[in-house]
Structure formats: structure tokens, C-alpha cells
Chains A and B, each alone.
Chain A
Amino acid sequence: MTDQITSELFQHLVLLGAMELEPGEAEYIRRQLNNQLKAINELAAIPLDDSTLPASHGVPFTPEITPPLRADEWRPEPDPQKILAQAPQLEDGYIIVPEIPHTDL
């Protein structure tokens, strides 16, 4: 059976996923994806009529159990430095990243 996720399609997905993969790792992952799709394809045989709506979650969020939204109020973060200190590269309170790819107009 032909692989649904071909090498070409796989490379495209890897690019979109922003991940650099080792060759051996890439082949293992592509094989696993195709194996998983065999299981997923079982869904194609299930008869679905128009009355079957998609469920984005299981439990119905009725008005009785839906909490009210928080007031939209500004609250100061108690210690922003603690959060900024997690950044891999920081300068004068700014998070530093490498050159952002761009095209000159």
C-alpha cells in the first residue's frame, strides 16, 4: 500500500512544524505517521448523517455550570523580572532573537 504521507509531503510538514530532524529520526516518524493513519482511516467507514454535529468537547457547557467571565480589569504582574528572566537572551528588558527573515521591498 502506498504511504499516505510521502517523503515530499513529510518534508513540507516538517518545514511547517519548524523542526529540524535527523535522517533516521525522520524516517521513523514518517513510518509511525503512516501506521497511525491506518488506524485513523477506520473512521471513514462510519456512516454520519447531517444531524450529527461536531463535538469540540464532551460535557455540555450549560448556563448553570458556565462560570461568569472575569471582569476585564488591568492587574499589575507582581514580578515581571521573574518572567523575563526565563528568556534565553535578554537585553535591557527586551527579549533578543536572531535576524527575522524579511524581503526588501
Chain B
Amino acid sequence: MELADFSAHQIARLVHRRELSAAEVTEAALQRIQAVDGRPGSLEPGAITTEDQGKVHAFITLTAERARRQAAAVDQKLAAGEDPGPLAGVPFTSKDIFCVEGTPSTAASRILANFMAPYTATPVARMEAAGAVLLGKVNLDEFAYGSSSESSAFQPAPRNPWDTSRVPGGSSGGSAASVAAGECALSLGTDTAGSVRQPAAFCGVVGVKPTYGRVSRYGLIAFGSSLDCPGPVARDVRDAALALNAISGADPHDSTAAAAPVPDFSAGLEESVRGLRVGLSPEYFRIIYINAASGEIDTQPISAEIESAVLQAANHLAGMGAEIVENVSMPHTRYGIPVYFVISRVEAASNLHRFDGVKYGYRTPDPVQDLSEMYRKSRGQAFGPQPKLRILMGMYVSAAQYSAQYYNRALKVRTLIRRDFDQAFDPQGALRLHALLTPTTPTTAFPIGDLYGDSVLMQYADQFTVPANHAGVPGISLPGGFDAQGLPIGIQLLGPDFSEARLLQLGRAYEIATHQAGWRQRKPAVLEGRLP
């Protein structure tokens, strides 16, 4: 195994023992980036070449010298007999939606292309304080608005390391792709409707959406402030637990960061799952969506391969003593996307008002008559179609004459979605579930260009992930095998508030049960030189 493919827990252990230096690990990661990533995203990309089509393009900004300095500092601490932290020397990337002091922090938007963050986001600062080494900022959908990473203003957009003709998912596509391709061991993403879990599923890695409030949002360029959850992407559950330990906990800079106790997520990972109750819900085995042509509601079963992967996971957990509870009713699951179309747009429109060409970011170079024209030209020229869509929809559904019909109604339906989870997880209730086991996505990674432009169908890619964002509950996506086309399948575990330790424990049990499976040995196409 090459050093770039070592797990975070292996690296941290070897660096602590001084059998490996942080500098060596960093160089191995930079070499892997050099080999597989291709050119970084830029505002003036020109034509996409044949060579581009075989690369990952996870990065917007590579911070190689900064990383080398951090790695040297880790090695110096060890040489001085000090402990650099539990993530000593572990290379990680950050979705470019987190501010990192002194780096361009773009949100993959032209409007922030020239913005240098004056401070560092709490989750990134905590990773660095734990000894992890930041390699750079990775690409995403513009302002995290999308499920494929194709809407980035910085092209070429990230590609799926398992098949570079396909999307890596989104919006944390650069995060999942960089971890899957061994460009880093860990990445920080954000999940507003599934933006950590969906790309993790598409790229065959682990993605955690913590409970809302478990991880501080300080320094995160906001999308939907009541939905956004920073979370880690990793290649296995043990690494995800290590990263979650590093970033969790209250933060005086964010009053919504919960003052809940943070357990050691690594401590109970391999405890028995005997007696844990895991539910299966029929509402997560079919997709219900609006047919744009007919305007009618269509219902389709998910693919047999994805259904089979979830049921096999249930069998594995049952084999380890978990109790599988079938036919759990989650009747409001289907409304997750319509509710999201309203709430996320209102919150996004509000958060985007600050980008006006006055204090920072892009200002039109065109001559203007007055301030209003400067606003209109700056925002018109520098926002892509996705932010524009969200601003306009957000304003429409929250306007005084429409808000009762749309926004207030959506907030009430959010209550019903939350109630589904409360009933499923109620320790005194009929079901008393510890977790719900579902597919992460209705499909595997789709071809680049297939859905982009259809903002409705694209949104339905998040149908099984978005209910957890409305409810605030935690979720984890785990690699669950491959489909017939060799594309990763993701399986998802959802649990009650602040039950991340239990979800990670169940995830680790599934990893142990499938450790010997042939599919666990597969490598992404970019690491085997396979071209699409």
C-alpha cells in the first residue's frame, strides 16, 4: 500500500511513534495530488481537454507550502517530546466554503474569487490544533447549491475518481473525491440537504452529517443557517470518528453550537451491537418526484442493486445481534424536498444579501450611475444561475402575500418530518429504534451533464438525505458495495439527536462484517490508470 492510501488512524499512530514523519506523509499526499488531480478549478478554464477528462480536479487552491510548514511544526513538537495532537501529521482538505485565514475562500463563486479570509473557521482550526495538516481548499457547487459539484464557477469541476465521466456528487464533491483518490486522508465538508453524505456515497467513502449544533458553523460561508452541518469525510469509520472528535463541541463564536457533552467517538466503536434496534422504512426504498413534463407525481422504486445492498447490510447487522425492525412508517419523507425548496431558499436569499460589491468580493468594473446599479451589475455578473435561483425563490415564498401559503406551511411540515423521527427513536415508544438503515441515494453517480440544468431533478438526488437536515438528527453514509457498472453504493444510518457514537459503532460493525468482501479490495479508476 502506498503512503497516500494510509488511513488517518494509521498515520497518526506512526507519526506519534516517530516511525513516519509528518513531512513524509505530506510529500506523499502532494505527490498523489500531482499524479491524479490535474489542473485546479479556475474562472477562466478554457476548453476541457482529453487529459482533463481523466483527472479528479478536486482542488481550487493548493496550499502546499503552508502544509509543509504545518508538517514541520508537527515533527518539531514530536522531536521536543510534545504531543502534536490525535491527528498528528494527518493530511486533510477543506471544502472551500470554510474560511481559512490568509487563503482565498471562494465558496466556488466568482463573487468571492478575490476574497482572502481574515480568520479561520472553527472546524478547520480544531483540525489543525489536533495536528492535522491542511493541504488546500477543494471545489464544490457554487455556495454549496447543488448535488453534483458541476455548478462551481471554478472549472474543471471535480470528477468521480471511480469513473471520471461521472459526477462525484455534491455539494462537497471535492471533499469526497479528494479522500477517495487518496489525495488526503480526511476532508471537511458541509451537509445542508445531504452534501456530505451524497458525495460520500457516490465516491465510496464515509461521510458524517453530525447533529445540528454538534459542530460549530463559525467561519462557514452560510447557505441555510438552520440546516448547515459541517462534517468529516473519511475512508473508514475509525477515521471519521477521529475527525469528529476533533471538530465537535461548543464554541463561544457560535451560539447554535450545542453545549452537549462530546463523547470519545473512537472509544466504543467495536462494542457489540447486540440488542440494538435498527429500522427499515418502505418510504426510503422508493422515490417520489414531480415529473416536469406532465406536472404529475411519479413514484419509482430505487434500483434493485441499491435495495439489495441495504438489505444485505441489515442481514450483516442482524448476524451480529442487532434487531431489524421492518416496515417503519416515515410518512413525511416524501415532503423533504418540497419543504427544502422553500426553507433553504428563504435562508439562502437572506444570507446572500451581504454580497453587494461594497465591503468585499466582486464589484463590477462597468461604469454605473449610482449604488443601485452597482448592486445589480455586481450581483448579476458574479452570481451563477444557482444563487440567482435561490435568491428569487427565497424572496417569492417569503413575501408577505405568499409566506402563509409557502414559508409558514413549510415550517409546519418540517415539524411533521421531525415528528416521524421522534416517534421512531422514542425510547418509550412502540419502535424504540437506535437507528434507521436506508440507502443514501436513489441512484449511483450519474454522468456529468445528465441532470445539470434541471434544478428539480437534481434536487431529488437528496430525497433520502434531506429529512435528517430538517429534523436536525445525525446521519452517516457508508460504502456498501458497487453496482454492475462498478460505481459505489452508499448506505445510510440515521439516529436520534447526538447519537453519532452509536451510528459510528453500527457503521464499524458493518465494516468488520464485510472486511473480507471482495468489493472492499477495489481501487478507484484514477489509481489504476483506467480511463472512462
Instruction: Give A contacts to B, CB under 8 Å.
Output: 1, 5, 9-10, 13-14, 16-21, 25, 28-29, 32-33, 35-36, 38-44, 46, 48, 52-59, 61, 64-70, 79, 82-83, 86-89, 95, 97-101
Contact = CB atoms under 8 A, between A and B. Distances in A.
A37 B472 CA distance: 25
A53 B412 contact: yes
Contact of B414 (A55, A99, A101): A55
B357 interface: yes
Given A38-B292, A43-B338, A58-B418, A20 B357 contact: no
Contacts of A56: 226, 411
A65 B295 contact: no
A38 B289 CA distance: 10
B259 A66 contact: yes
A17 B395 contact: yes
Interface string B295-306: 101000000000
B532 to A, nearest CB: 28
Contact of A67 (B252, B292, B416): B252
7 contacts: A33-B396, A35-B455, A42-B334, A44-B409, A58-B473, A82-B118, A98-B374
B228 to A, nearest CB: 11
A32 B389 contact: yes
Contact of B116 (A25, A53, A86): A86
B6 interface: no
A89 B374 CA distance: 13
A101 B371 contact: yes
A88 B257 CA distance: 33
B342 to A, nearest CB: 6
Interface stretch (B121-129, B320-328, B380-388): B380-388
Nearest to A77: B118
A42 B116 contact: no
A20 B357 CA distance: 14
B304 to A, nearest CB: 26
A56 B343 CA distance: 9
B520 interface: no
A25 to B, nearest CB: 7
Which 4 interchain pairs have the tightest Cβ spacing?
A: A58-B472, A54-B411, A20-B380, A59-B472
Interface string B400-441: 000001101111111110100000000000000000000000
B43 interface: no
A35 B456 CA distance: 7
B204 to A, nearest CB: 28
Contacts of A69: 255
Contact of A18 (B256, B335, B339, B375): B375
Contact of B358 (A33, A67, A95): A95
Contact of A54 (B335, B370, B408): B408
Nearest to A89: B363
B17 interface: no
Contact of B359 (A67, A95, A100): A95
Given A20-B376, A100-B371, 16 more contacts: A13-B396, A17-B349, A38-B456, A39-B459, A43-B338, A43-B409, A43-B410, A46-B335, A55-B411, A55-B414, A83-B118, A87-B359, A88-B360, A97-B358, A99-B371, A101-B371
A55 B213 CA distance: 16
Contacts of A65: 213, 258-260
